[in-house]
Amino acid sequence: MKKAIFPGSFDPFTIGHYDIVNRGLKLFDEIVISIGRNSAKKETFPIREREEAIRKIFKDEPRISVRIYDCLTVDFAREVGAQFILRGVRCVQDFEYERNMAEANKELGEIETILLYTRPEYAHISSTLVRDLYSYNKDVSAYVPNKLR
């Protein structure tokens, strides 16, 4: 059975994330959306709210589960029995970052990272964009999955 974790902050979960997960379902039997607790990063949406919102989006998809973790990503992957890390790439900056992470995770945990390129129409979508709009009371519905609108 092929199992992947999709780790991230998801503060909040966007249609860019949603698309990567749905495309990942064609590659993996199971995906664990893994929300990293990062004390160095200031959170906008409380982590439990993020967890609940993502669960709601995928409530009819038994191959998806949602977890919060606060350890090294490779250790968490091992804990849930995942052989792969799924990540998305939007631009060269993402690529450089993801390459370093992938190399480190391969060295630390013998785990393979699978990168999916963003759809061009989602390349500009980020949690930061949604947070900014949200902070100015702007409509974010175009950037978050249907079930959260």
**Catalytic site residues?**
17, 41, 90, 127
Residue type for position 81: G
Out of 122, 130, 144, 145, which residue is the one contacting ligand ADP (CB under 6 A)? 122
Structure-token pair, residue 35: 């929300």
- Residue 43 found at the interface with ligand ADP (CB under 6 A): no
Instruction: Please report how close the Cβ of residue 19 comes to ligand ADP at its closest, in angstroms.
Output: 6
Mapping DSSP to helix (H, G, I), strand (E, B) and coil, where does residue 130 land? helix
- Residue 44 found at the interface with ligand ADP (CB under 6 A): no
Structure-token pair, residue 44: 């906008």
Nearest residue to 127 (alpha-carbon basis) of 139, 115, 140, 136: 140
Cα(45)–Cα(65) distance, integer angstroms: 19
- Spatial strand order of the sheet with 3-8 comes to 64-69, 30-36, 3-8, 84-89, 112-117
Out of 34, 105, 113, 127, which residue is the one contacting ligand ADP (CB under 6 A)? 127
Letters for 56-85 (x = contact with ligand ADP by CB under 6 A, - = none) are: ------------------------------
Stretch of residues binding ligand ADP (CB under 6 A), selected from 63-71, 86-94, 106-114, 132-140 = 86-94
Look-up of token digits 């390459």: 99
Cα(128)–Cα(130) distance, integer angstroms: 5
- Residue 50 found at the interface with ligand ADP (CB under 6 A): no
Out of 4, 16, 31, 82, which residue is the one contacting ligand ADP (CB under 6 A)? 16
Q: Which residues bind ligand ADP (CB under 6 A)?
A: 8-10, 14, 16-17, 20, 87-90, 94, 118, 122, 125-127
